[in-house]
Amino acid sequence: MEHQHRSQARLSPSGDTEDMVMLLAPRLAYFAGVARTEHVTRAAQEMQVPQSTLSRAMVRLEQDLGVDLFARRGRTVSLTPAGRTFLGSVERALAEIERAADEVRADADPATGKVAFGFLHTMGAETVPGLLHAFRADHPRVRFSLVQNYGEAMIERLRAGELDLCLTSPVPDAPDLVARRLDEQKLRLVVPADHRLASRRRIRLAEAADETFVTLEPGYGLRRITDDLCMEAGFRPRVAFEGEEAETLRGLVAAGLGVALLPPPAVPRPGVVELTVTAPRAAREIGVAWLDGHPDTPPVAAFKKFLLSRRGNLLPD
């Protein structure tokens, strides 16, 4: 009882939770081994550690907790009620650690591992499915966690370690990222089918200076490109609607609510006409980015190599 009181006085109430975890964590597997065998010598043999190391670890564990976990008779021990309660939680914690270790090993497996891959919404209908189909011809069991988002949000998730690679536009330029240009996608001026310009095949963007535009929200790469192209053409676009997805914008154009600068659709959309922009040069670069210095698992390295091999041939015809 005196031993208990001394330990509790040393650790509480000012002991920091994180410090306590650091003290306890290395000894939990030792505790579970001794509790399972109820014999220090046998546990030491099974875990291949010196008996003296194991004995000291159990004494320190009890001191750090301020609770007697074992009743001792020589080298034979039995759990106290507190020890039995603690063992249940320890076994669950160790099982969770083992599950986590199995999961990260499985994700890193060259044949069956996982790639966390982010890409733009406009890449999701045709480009990314085609890429995955081609990659899995040689890596049929590699798994993917797919995230569709706009460029800035994907870069944030890349930096947070939630993504391994992302397909984005514009190609980012930041000291903590590695980015490689893969391809280029022409943008078209999309107008309603009954629009005054609908009979044209080509147009200079300056000719749309008086039009109402529908665009993606600020923060989207395509919105930045739209603003920059319009400024280059000599005007600031008058924006009536802002959305989050290119095909929604096409629907707004078809409804006569404005015009838009958009990449080609996966399938033709009725109600709109898509005009080639002759000036300024209207295109967006598509690139792949990853965190600089971030080690790749074998499946991530394989998919990265595959994407880089598609340079200049990333987008469907």
177 and 45 in a single domain? The answer is no
Count other Cβ atoms within 10 Å, centred on residue 62: 21
275 and 192 in a single domain? The answer is yes
- Which CATH number do you get for residue 162? 3.40.190.10
Per-residue pLDDT averaged across 161-180, rounded? Answer: 96
Per-residue pLDDT averaged across 59-67, rounded? Answer: 89
Beta bridge mates, 204? 279
- The residue ranking higher by pLDDT, 10 or 184, is 184
172 and 206 in a single domain? The answer is no
Q: Which domain holds residue 228?
A: 188-281
CA distances from 125 to 196, 266, 274 (A): 30, 6, 19
Residue ending a domain, choose from 108, 136, 154: 108
295 and 235 in a single domain? The answer is no
178 and 301 in a single domain? The answer is yes
Rounded (10°) angle between helices 51-65 and 17-24: 160
State the pLDDT at residue 6. Answer: 38
DSSP secondary structure, 213-249, as one string: EEEEPTTSHHHHHHHHHHHHTT---EEEEEES-HHHH
137 and 179 in a single domain? The answer is yes
Q: Indicate whether 316 belongs to any domain.
A: no
- Which CATH number do you get for residue 45? 1.10.10.10
d(CA 261, CA 250): 10
d(CA 233, CA 214): 17
Q: Indicate whether 7 belongs to any domain.
A: no
Domain count, the chain: 3
pTM of the entire structure? 0.77
102 and 119 in a single domain? The answer is no
d(CA 208, CA 21): 64
In the sheet with 260-262, reading across from the earlier edge strand, the strands are 202-204, 272-279, 188-192, 260-262
Q: Indicate whether 200 belongs to any domain.
A: yes
Q: Indicate whether 240 belongs to any domain.
A: yes
193 and 180 in a single domain? The answer is no
pLDDT bin (cut points 50, 70, 90) of residue 13 is: very low
Q: Indicate whether 10 belongs to any domain.
A: no
Q: Indicate whether 6 belongs to any domain.
A: no
22 and 101 in a single domain? The answer is yes
Residue ending a domain, choose from 78, 108, 138: 108
Sequence-distant (6+) residues with CB within 8 A of 136 are 142
User: Tens digit of pLDDT for each residue in 19-50?
Assistant: 666 667 778 889 999 988 888 888 889 888 89
Q: Indicate whether 4 belongs to any domain.
A: no
d(CA 119, CA 164): 11
Residue ending a domain, choose from 58, 92, 108: 108
User: Tens digit of pLDDT for each residue in 128-137?
Assistant: 999 999 999 9
